[in-house]
Structure 1
Amino acid sequence: MHPYPLFLIMVAAMSAAAVHGRPADGTPAARFWEEALPGTPMPEALAELVQKGIDHSPLEESFTGPYLSIGMCLGHVYVSVCSVERVKKAGTGLFFHEQQIRVGHTMTVSFSPAAVPAILPHDVAAIHHFANLTAGDVIARFHIAPGSKMAAQVGDTLRTCQSPVAGERWAHCATSLEGMVRAAMRTLGGGGRGGVWVAASAVPRGGLPLQPYAVEAVVPLDGDRHVACHDEPYPFAVFRCHRIGLSTTKAYAVALRGLRGGPAVTMAVICHLDTSDWNPAYPAFEMMHTKPGDGSVCHFMPYANVLFGLKATNAMESF
């Protein structure tokens, strides 16, 4: 069986509980997704956040931290944007070598509860675009305590999104689901015959307990050029999408089963094969006891973080 039918079976299993009355059904974001990515289910986490942005708009609520999602620690040309201590607070087993994701292997994993806020409707996000805002504007609008860690994180997000990071020409901050998809497709050049695939981890918003998980299935995903979209600290969902790859990455969908009970999960994984130009202070190296250029570095995609890639033409023909 070609990897894509198996991958779609895994995606269907991830979404089975929401077949009747799926979150976000009928919303403009859902209709856009169906038109832009026909035949590709919207990841459950994104559907939940889209619906939350309609039911409980963050624009009507005060925003309180702390913002503990691991997504903010990924990307940024894989420089040291998070301390090892912060990464450990967000979960265990985030970073690993490619050879560890093989059927029958056991991985000890945990994830803390996710803090990704609601995704605003596209028309609302456009009104509140942060291109010309200052951190003071956001802190005042959302009643964030001045001088707090959350205020500092919001300031970092604004600086990151308003100014390109050195070395990353293909990066974009999206404030809506539509903006995320458009940025990814534009960066990948997804108008070709194969189309674009989407992968996200089916990990509970409430996190995963620390325990050994057995690897039950590993599905390689097409291509060596990808776009990863990670959440950034902000009162509403902001995803920083950046291009990775150029023959240096591989992507997988990996099914895990907890050996002490709990839900089985399907995780999206990205593996970086060449880390020779990474910052030596990047947390993965200390946690894996390695250094830049010393083997692959793989990581799970956290809750509501998304991978995009180009489908191979022969994958489409195999259906």
Structure 2
Amino acid sequence: HVDPKRALFFTEKDIPTWKTLTLTFHNPTTQQPPFLPRELADALPFSSAHLPEILHKFSVTPTEARSLRATIRECETRALNENQKSCATSLESMLDFSVAHLGKDVAAASTHGAEESNGKEYTVTSVKKSPDGAKGLVVCNREDYPYAVFFCQRTTTAAAYQLDLTAADGSKAELVAVCHRETSSWNPESVPFKVLKVKPGEVPICHVLPQDNVVWIPK
């Protein structure tokens, strides 16, 4: 029995040993802003140069304005001169980025439950690993913004696992775990190494993909 809420980090070899998981699912569609249609998202300014216009358009609070500003700057900084990173402001642009790096035959996976649950126990019914190969994965993390914006990054040094889950009441869920296989350059004082009592580069470091993030996998 494993509770990933308490075991935030784990190793790749742990995953096949999981028989049951205790998980809490929320409904992200009721808490997170949706994607805009591509035509509308592309027409809206999204840059530091247009910050005054953006802040005025969305009538945000001072706290929201700080988060909005940080998201734009992060997108501009992290994607600078790096064609394997991008901020997607629409579902179509996220798909385009993934297809450009992984090929046309891709699938999206995310951690989600069929219904909201709080500490429900699930049985692991199947485990599927992403294919090994040079294409890698595209991992997209949701950013804080008035509409859906995701920071997407291609990685060739990670693997994804999709776990199908079933609770005693018959409800279904899916958990996605991402395992980072190249950790030799990570800070040796970072939390995963302390939790797992290992050193950088010794073993793959895995974590549950947060519920409102997406990983794109080549088929």
TM-score, scaled relative to structure 1: 0.57
Displacement of 1:180? 0.4
- Aligned counterparts of 2:101 and 2:111: Cα–Cα separation in 1: 25
Tell me: higher relative CO, structure 1 or 2? Use CA pairs within 8 A at least 6 residues apart.
2
CA gap 1:205/1:234 in 2 versus in 1, 3 angstroms: farther
* Range with greater deviation from structure 2 (123-132 or 296-305): 296-305
SS in 2 for 1:254: strand
Q: Is the 8 A contact 2:111 2:209 kept in 1?
A: no
Which residue identity lines up with residue 118 of structure 2 in the other structure?
P
Displacement of 1:267? 2.2
Query: Residue deviations 1:55-103, cap 9 Å, x none?
Result: xxxxxxxxxxxxxxxxxxxxxxxxxxxxxxxxxxxx5555322122226
- Aligned counterparts of 1:203 and 1:171: Cα–Cα separation in 2: 25
Displacement of 1:274? 2.0
Q: Is the 8 A contact 2:114 2:172 kept in 1?
A: no
CA gap 1:265/1:163 in 2 versus in 1, 3 angstroms: same
Displacement of 1:252? 2.0
1:121 is aligned, of 37, 41, 50, to: 37
User: Map of 1:107-256 to 2, 5 A cutoff?
Assistant: 107-111=21-25, 114=28, 115-146=31-62, 148=63, 150-164=64-78, 169-188=83-102, 190=103, 195-201=104-110, 203-204=112-113, 208-224=117-133, 225-245=136-156, 248-256=157-165
Residue 176 of structure 2 corresponds to 268
Q: How many residues align?
A: 211
CA gap 1:204/1:117 in 2 versus in 1, 3 angstroms: farther
Displacement of 1:239? 1.1
TM-score, scaled relative to structure 2: 0.79
Query: Residue deviations 1:261-292, cap 9 Å, x none?
Result: 57321223321122111244655445545553
- Aligned counterparts of 1:137 and 1:144: Cα–Cα separation in 2: 12
Query: Residue deviations 1:118-157, cap 9 Å, x none?
Result: 10000000111403545554333222221x2x33322221
Q: Is the 8 A contact 2:112 2:175 kept in 1?
A: yes
Displacement of 1:111? 4.6
Q: Is the 8 A contact 2:113 2:172 kept in 1?
A: no
User: Map of 1:3-22 to 2, 5 A cutoff?
Assistant: none
- Aligned counterparts of 1:122 and 1:251: Cα–Cα separation in 2: 28
Q: Determine whether 1:95 maps to 2:9.
A: yes
Q: Is the 8 A contact 1:116 1:231 kept in 2?
A: no
Q: Determine whether 1:278 maps to 2:182.
A: no
Cα RMSD over matched residues? 3.0
SS in 1 for 2:78: coil
- Aligned counterparts of 1:278 and 1:302: Cα–Cα separation in 2: 21
Displacement of 1:205? 8.4
Displacement of 1:294? 4.0
- Aligned counterparts of 2:116 and 2:52: Cα–Cα separation in 1: 32
Residue 35 of structure 1 corresponds to none
Which residue identity lines up with residue 269 of structure 1 in the other structure?
A
Which residue identity lines up with residue 122 of structure 2 in the other structure?
Y
Gaps of 5+ in 1: 1-90, 312-319
Deviating runs (4+, > 6 A) in structure 1? none
Displacement of 1:116? 2.9
Q: Percent identity?
A: 32
Name the one with the larger strand percent: 2
Name the one with the larger helix percent: 1
- Aligned counterparts of 2:99 and 2:82: Cα–Cα separation in 1: 17
